[in-house]
Structure 1
Amino acid sequence: MAPLTVMMPARNAESTVATAIRSITRALPRDGRVLVLDDASEDSTAAVVRDLARRDRRVGLLESLSTRVGVVAAATALLDAADTPLVARMDADDISLPWRFRTQLALLRRHDLDLAFSPLVFMGPGRFAVEPQPLLSAGPESVGLELVLNCAVAHPTMTGRRAAILDAGGYRSAPSEDWDLWMRLSLNGARLGRTSCPGLAYRRHSGQTSAQSAWKAALASDSTSAGVHRDLCRAVLGREYDPGPGAYAALAGPGARPEQVAAAERLIDEVAAQASRFPLAQRLSLAVTAHGVRLLLRKNYPHAASGAHEPG
């Protein structure tokens, strides 16, 4: 049995899926594999994958679906079909860098982690054609703090233990199914970490779900994930900690009330104050995360932030 399965959902990805798969097979251990689920594509995505599978036995295709099922159902089907102890995730329009799995698997072993992640290199629209994320590592304790502020680890870079994901309940229907899962994993005692070495080139485009205002509104009003967020705040900041009324709604996007924005500001302050107890790399990562989330909050709520100030 192969030790690692890379799970790749794909829809209308005929122009990118072959490059994505080849990047995985170059980076994979010899006995790893990639499993693609074609989510009712209206182009030749499935045919492209079948052609690659005929030439490389490490490539597999789940039966093409006649009706589109969406992100969560596709992720669940792939997780169910993967019969390996380790699983990884990648999108059909991204590129795994050659050292991705070597560095992530080493991190898993070295720190006894359940899931390992990597920074991204962004490609496509933006200020620059190619733009890296801050190259900062994070350990299980600091990742928990970062997760109360945002989705601090990138889903397409995930590599880790399938059993840990299943033990936390797997994927469930939520606007941000990845953030919801990472928070539940942390609450379940799973150990998450991030390397400082980029592992994936992530393609940005205007049609991405995370760029759509309707998705942002649904994320901010997601009461189920808000409850998980509240529990995680108390787990990492102390059982008596109260993040206030609706901090999650303000952190998730626009549309929050002034008291929710104020609660989010207090939460950012609390996380920033905790940074000093960590080693340098994790301290920097927490500081960068807190500062970036604060800037985004004030961009979304300029009037609410007009009287606020960053702690000295």
Structure 2
Amino acid sequence: MARVDVVMPVRNGEAFVEDAIRSMMVQTERDWRLIVLNHASTDATGEIIDQLGGEDRRVQRQDCGPAMTLSDVRNAGFDRSDAPFVLLHDADDLSVPERIAVLLAEMERRPHLVLVGSNYVTVDTQLKPLGTRKLPSDPDRLAVAALFSNPIAQPTVMLRRLALDKAGARYGKTFLTPSGGPAPMTVATLVEDYLMFGQLAIEGLCATVAEQLVLYRWHGGNTSSVGFQRQMELSLDISRHLMALVAATRGVAYCDPTPFCNHGARLEPASGTDLAEQWPPLRQAILAAFGDTPGVRRELAFRSVLGTRSLPAMLARFARFSLSYRPDSDELATIRAYAAKTVRRR
């Protein structure tokens, strides 16, 4: 048994999978096993995995059939894992050498957490930096942020396996089933991570470290690029589902979070320009559910910025918000995208 099992799904990934695997082979923490889930690849992916497995016996291949969904494949990795910790890794990304060591140290320092992620650097196919993504870090803030977008970057995550097993947590399905809660939800792909991470987040079990531990390779074939519109639709469904779970588990009124969501840095259309009537009951329900903590107040402060679709009013609110808080990557992207869209319409 290794201390960390690394789960890496791949389908026809011959262009990048060797780089991804080799980034594991140079980790400063040496006690790991890499489970590469070869999802019905028809290119040279299997041969590359086998070659690298010959160099390092910790690299192991598991074949997955074409009928399996991405959720099925990811869950197959969990089911094979027997290490105390599971590290997620996409087959087109690279980990910095200290990634496992940093996340392990955070898990040991905070034993109540089930999930720890990190910030990351976006790079092109030649590994040229394109930008960085700074995400929320505090568990209280993440609990609220998860109602409005996915504040956890899938390729950066480490999980505590026994806690996952105890909760029955797996990709693509509802595992929180409170009395009076919503009907269970299942998703096969595109947002399977958001459904799982969101449930862990609203339970206060997630955090993000400040270090940039992953090079996220953007090449136009990424899932978030290919299926963007459908991904946004499903994300809104999950936002409503998570709010319904909060209402059932915390005994608060259900309020629709949709007008204040910013999935993909995109605001959903809203009737009129003033959402003043919709915001106070949602804010009250969130405060009652999660408490009046600094992390909760921080997230609510940004959501109140989005309580108008008048661009001058939104920009004025954002300027006041920025005097008290440093905006993170998704907040800045949301305001910029809405401003650009509004200007184009004119």
Query: TM class by shorter-chain length?
Result: 0.7 to 0.9
Other structure's SS at 1:22 match: helix
Distance 1:232 1:299, change over 3 A: farther
- 1:164 and 1:190 in contact (8 A); partners too: no
- 2:99 and 2:213 in contact (8 A); partners too: yes
- The letter of the residue matching 1:150 is S
Rounded Cα–Cα distance in structure 2 between residues aligned with 1:198 and 1:74: 27
Aligned length: 296
Aligned counterpart in structure 1 of residue 332 of structure 2, from 276, 281, 292: 292
- 1:23 and 1:96 in contact (8 A); partners too: yes
- The match for 1:57 is 57
Other structure's SS at 1:93 match: coil
- The match for 1:243 is 255
Pairs within 5 Å for 1:262-273: 266=279, 270=283
Alignment gaps of 5+ in structure 2? 173-185, 302-323
- The match for 1:225 is 238
Rounded Cα–Cα distance in structure 2 between residues aligned with 1:245 and 1:59: 43
Alignment gaps of 5+ in structure 1? 307-312
Rounded Cα–Cα distance in structure 2 between residues aligned with 1:191 and 1:244: 23
- The match for 1:192 is 206
Distance 1:263 1:7, change over 3 A: farther
- The match for 1:205 is 219
Quote the offset at 1:169 in angstroms: 2.9
- 1:183 and 1:228 in contact (8 A); partners too: no
- The match for 1:23 is 23
Scaled by the length of structure 1, the TM-score of the pair is 0.78
Quote the offset at 1:82 in angstroms: 1.1
- 1:233 and 1:241 in contact (8 A); partners too: no
CA deviations 1:43-101 (Å, max 9, x no partner) are 111111111112211110003x4525342111011111112121010111111001111
Other structure's SS at 2:34 match: strand
Identity, % of aligned positions:
23
- 1:245 and 1:259 in contact (8 A); partners too: no
- The letter of the residue matching 1:165 is L
Rounded Cα–Cα distance in structure 2 between residues aligned with 1:245 and 1:139: 21
Aligned counterpart in structure 1 of residue 270 of structure 2, from 236, 240, 258: 258
- The letter of the residue matching 1:211 is S
Other structure's SS at 2:212 match: coil
Rounded Cα–Cα distance in structure 2 between residues aligned with 1:79 and 1:153: 19
- The match for 2:124 is 124
CA RMSD of aligned residues (A): 4.0
CA deviations 1:4-41 (Å, max 9, x no partner) are 10000011111211111111121163221111011111
Quote the offset at 1:223 in angstroms: 7.2
- Return 83-92 or 136-145, whichever deviates more: 136-145
Scaled by the length of structure 2, the TM-score of the pair is 0.71
Rounded Cα–Cα distance in structure 1 between residues aligned with 2:245 and 2:196: 12
Distance 1:252 1:291, change over 3 A: closer
Pairs within 5 Å for 1:173-188: 173-174=186-187, 175-187=190-202
- The match for 1:309 is none
Aligned counterpart in structure 1 of residue 229 of structure 2, from 208, 216, 234: 216
Rounded Cα–Cα distance in structure 2 between residues aligned with 1:226 and 1:162: 25
Distance 1:19 1:243, change over 3 A: same
- 2:142 and 2:204 in contact (8 A); partners too: no
CA deviations 1:252-290 (Å, max 9, x no partner) are 4679552499769949x959x9998249x9998884367
- The letter of the residue matching 1:186 is A
Distance 1:94 1:40, change over 3 A: same
- The match for 2:10 is 10
Distance 1:227 1:85, change over 3 A: same
- The match for 1:79 is 78
- 2:246 and 2:252 in contact (8 A); partners too: no
